[in-house]
Copies of this chain bind each other. A is one copy, B any other.
Amino acid sequence: MLDYFFKPKSVAVIGASTDPDKLGYAVLENLVEGGYAQQGKVYPINPHAEKILGYEVFSSVTEVPGEIDLAVIVIPYTYVPDVLRECGEKGIPAVVVISAGFREAGMEGLERELELIDIAEEHGIRLVGPNCLGIIDTFTPLNASFSAGTPPKGPMAFMSQSGALGTAILDWAQAGRLGLSKFVSLGNKADVSEIDLMKAWVDDPDTNVILMYSEGLPNGQEFIEVAREITRKIPLVAVKSGVTESGSRAVSSHTGSLAGSEQAYQAAFQQAGVLRAEDMASLFDMALALGYQPLLKNNRIAIVTNAGGPGILATDALEHRGMSLSRLEVETIQDLEKYLPDAASAANPVDVLGDARANRYEFALKAVSEDPNVDGLLVVLTPQAMTEIGATAEAVGKISQEIDKPIMGCFMGEAKVESGIEVLRKYNVPNYSFPERAALAFRAMADYREIRLRPQPKFETFDVDQQTVRDLLERVKSEDRYSIGDLEAWDILEAYGIRIPKSKLAESQDQAVEYAAEIGYPVVLKITSPDILHKTDVGGVKVGLESPEEVRDAFELMLYRAERYLPEAEVWGCQVQEMAPPGGLEVLIGMNRDPQFGPLITFGLGGIYVEALKDVTFRVAPFSRKEAQAMLEEIRASSLLEGVRGEPPVDKDSIVEILMRIGQLVQQFPEIAELDINPLIVYPEGQGAIAIDMRLVLSSEKEGE
């Protein structure tokens, strides 16, 4: 897939220029200097030139005698559509449009871009850009970009929505910080997107890790689906920047105010197995470890250091990231004690002391690396008087080749340790200036192992009464209402198999008493009238009625009040409702729709604690039972679900099932824009949960399913 972009047999540069200051010259120069021209065919296209850099120039792609696999367009935007059409006529399968002046330049530009998309579709052209820096494959080698120079080879494939950030990344790479297999500046993503590149790169033999800088993922659901598959095979690290405006949609529910684009990304990346880097520095730190070192089989790390202080820093940093320090075997410790000086520490972190030369480091590293309790090694070095920086790095590098465990350097300092860092680089051992950075990298390796090992998610579908909900929503929409609460909300929940309080409409005192007996005391009585919106305002709600007498009194009083305060109101009677039994825990389940990822389900503590603590977690629907279970563990107050002060655990299974049923509901009815069940009262294990209140908001736009 997309092979014509990365392994083309011939490349045309449309807009190749004789002027070294022009991008059209830079692109051709990169094709030549980057080594492509030695094996592939290069066709500069320019109606006004004869030769550029010694290559014969053609006036148009249609003039080129042979086939063209890839065309790079670097001409003013007005000419791009026509030229793209020519590419189509020539049968060119892959085109990179570097030119700017499209979607990023306002309405007119957007129209031009839509024209490009049409042309590309018509001719079956795949298109990268427009408004981008170009593409690079260091293994082909192919540099079809206007970058200044070509980055060194390496196992990282990088895609960037920002071309400018691309220039910075290439600069870091050229300074020796990273090695790239591929680089794609995505530009406006008119056609080729992150999703296409993920699919293309997952099986690329030159790539060990995929890196991504993105400002938005319009096809969020597809992104999750594809990423979920590819991250089982190759790590994907992403930096997401920028807050997507969710537009002017009013946020009218708790969930809406809790869930923003940030929460959606968090959930989506987690479900998709994408490792999220907080910033570019972290992205590189994680990429080095994932790209150059073997998998971390477990989380037990051993530190070998020539200084106590940095050893403590490293221990703190690893533990802070949830890694653990290896407990070395007695034999290992005895070995170390035999060879190391008395003042050294043979326990982890192993302190070989400030006067350690390379051979002492080597001995300690060997002993530690063979310990079965060690899954990964961190070599901390400070440049002290006796320290043999280069030779120590050599020893580290050699050991890294002998073992199937990740080993990372933390040679601290700069000028003096640089020579050692160079040596480590030669052996593909990443170096981190600070222990905290190395700890972050180990964490990423541990996270990736978990992603790789997690089971394929299974999505369940429950047998529900979809028709009832469809009818109900149709009726509500036909009445031009967009908000649903109360009895209608209960009907929806009931249709989806979620327990609600028992409830019956009584038209007389006698009936009320009869229903109360059926439902069981205590009960709630609520006046029922299409004309009374705010029941409490007219004293139309009574809770905790304990006896037939109390029910009778309440019924009579309510009808009297209704008549007195709203004589014109049509009164249907009183709703007799079950009081939720005491002793449950209040939680919240909600949903709002993220413009990119779709239905975002919320779970958290309910009642007054929702607003105060915002102790909630999110998943994009659909999600598996396992993922729903994970939500329960993710909230800070999760221990409350286990029961506190000797109380039994709550019925977590029923929460999980309600989460999934709500997920199904909002998938089956895309017109549901937001909903809140608050509170859902959860009882002890085996005793289920009751949804007390639900509010649901319908989208005012027409949406298809």
**B162 touching A243, Cβ below 8 Å:** no
Would you call A162 and B310 a contact (CB within 8 A)?
yes
B436 contacts A278, C-beta separation under 8 Å: yes
Contact A608 B313 (CB under 8 A): no
- In the complex, chain B residues whose CB is within 8 Å of the CB of A172: 413-414
Please, how many angstroms separate the alpha-carbon atoms of A315 and B168 in the complex? 18
Q: Which of A8-16, A56-64, A634-642, A656-664 contacts B (4 or more CB under 8 A)?
A: A634-642
- Closest residue on chain B to residue A109 by CB atoms: B343
Report chain B residues within 8 Å CB of A165.
Answer: 307, 309-310, 313, 382, 412
- Distance of A175 Cα from B255 Cα, bound (Å): 51
Query: In the bound complex, do residue B309 and residue A436 qualify as a contact, i.e. CB atoms below 8 Å apart?
Result: no
CB distance from A239 to the nearest CB of B (A): 8
Contact surface of A with B, Cβ cutoff 8 Å: 23, 26, 104-105, 146, 148, 160-165, 167-172, 174-175, 177, 213, 215, 239, 241-243, 278-281, 306-310, 312-313, 315-317, 343, 354, 382-385, 412-417, 433-437, 608-609, 611-615, 636-640, 644-645
Closest to A161 in B: B309
Contacts of A609 in B (CB 8 A): 609, 637, 640
What chain B residues lie within 8 Å of A414 (beta carbons)?
Answer: 171-172, 174-175, 177
Contact between A281 and B434, CB atoms less than 8 A apart: yes
Number of this chain's copies in the complex: 2
Partner of A146, one of B383, B385, B416: B385
For residue A695, give the distance in angstroms from its CB to the closest CB of chain B. Answer: 15
B343-A105 in contact (CB<8A):
yes
The chain B residue with its CB closest to the CB of A642 is B612
Q: How far is the CB of A161 from chain B (nearest CB, A)?
A: 7
Q: Is A281 a contact of B162 with CB atoms below 8 Å?
A: no
Contact B164 A308 (CB under 8 A): yes
B433 close to A164 (CB less than 8 A): no
Task: Output the nearest chain B residue to A410 by Cβ-Cβ distance.
Answer: B168
Closest approach, in angstroms, between the C-beta of A444 and any C-beta of chain B? 17
CA distance A473 to B437 in the complex (A): 51
9 tightest A-B contacts by CB? A162-B309, A164-B307, A171-B413, A175-B414, A168-B412, A279-B436, A175-B415, A164-B382, A242-B312
Measured in the bound complex, the distance between the Cα atoms of B316 and A162 in whole Å is 15
- Inter-subunit contact A316/B148 (CB<8 Å): no
User: In the complex, what distance in Å separates the CA atom of A239 from the CA atom of B26?
Assistant: 47
A-B contact pairs, 15 of them (CB 8 A): A23-B385, A162-B307, A162-B309, A163-B309, A163-B354, A164-B307, A164-B354, A171-B417, A174-B415, A175-B414, A213-B309, A241-B312, A281-B436, A612-B638, A612-B644
Bound: A163/B172 CA distance, A:
32
Within 8 Å CB of A175, what residues of B?
Answer: 413-415
Give the residues in chain B near A608, CB-CB below 8 Å: 640, 644-645
Given the complex of chains A and B, what is the CA–CA distance between A279 and B313 in angstroms? Answer: 8
Of all chain B residues, which has the CB nearest A636? Answer: B613
Contact between chains at B281 and A167 (CB < 8 Å): no
A102 to chain B, nearest CB (A): 12
Decide: A316 near B242, CB < 8 A? Known: A280-B434, A309-B213. yes
* Complex-state Cα separation, A170 to B164, whole angstroms: 34
CB distance from A469 to the nearest CB of B (A): 30
B307 and A171 form a contact (CB under 8 A): no
User: Which of A26, A167, A636, A640: most chain B CB closer than 10 A?
Assistant: A167
Cβ-defined partner of A637 (8 Å) among B105, B312, B613, B644: B613
Say whether A279 contacts B162, CB under 8 Å: no
Q: Which residue of chain B lies nearest to A213 when distances are taken between CB atoms in the complex?
A: B309
Give Cα A417 to B168, complex, Å. Answer: 9
* Contact among B146, B215, B313 with A241 in the assembled complex (CB-CB below 8 Å): B313
- CB <8 Å contact, A241 and B281: no
Query: Given A167-B384, A609-B637, A612-B639, 11 more contacts at CB 8 Å?
Result: A23-B385, A105-B343, A148-B385, A162-B309, A164-B309, A165-B313, A170-B413, A171-B412, A215-B312, A241-B312, A612-B638
**Residues of chain B within 8 A of A413, CB atoms compared:** 167-172, 175
List residues of chain B with CB within 8 A of the CB of A309: 160-165, 213, 215, 241
Which residues of chain B are near A169, meaning CB under 8 Å?
Answer: 413
B residues in contact with A177, CB < 8 Å: 414
Q: Report B-chain residues with C-beta under 8 Å of the C-beta of A215.
A: 309, 312
For the complex, give the distance between the alpha carbons of A281 and B148 in Å. 30
Q: What is the minimal beta-carbon distance from A93 to any residue of chain B, in angstroms?
A: 28
User: In the complex, what residues of B have CB within 8 A of residue A416's CB?
Assistant: 148, 171, 174
| CB-CB nearest in chain B for A437 | B281
Interface centre among A280, A309, A417 (most CB of B within 10 A): A309
Q: Is the CB of A316 within 8 A of B243?
A: yes
Write out the residue numbers on chain B whose beta carbons fall within 8 Å of the beta carbon of A279.
313, 317, 434-436
Compute how far the CA of A354 lies from the CA of B23 in the bound complex, rounded to whole angstroms.
Answer: 13
Task: Give the nearest-CB partner of A610 in chain B.
Answer: B644
A639 touches B615 (CB 8 A): no
Cβ 8 A contact of A164, one of B316, B384, B613: B384
Report the Cα distance A161→B312, complex, angstroms. Answer: 12
Q: Are B436 and A644 in contact (CB under 8 A)?
A: no
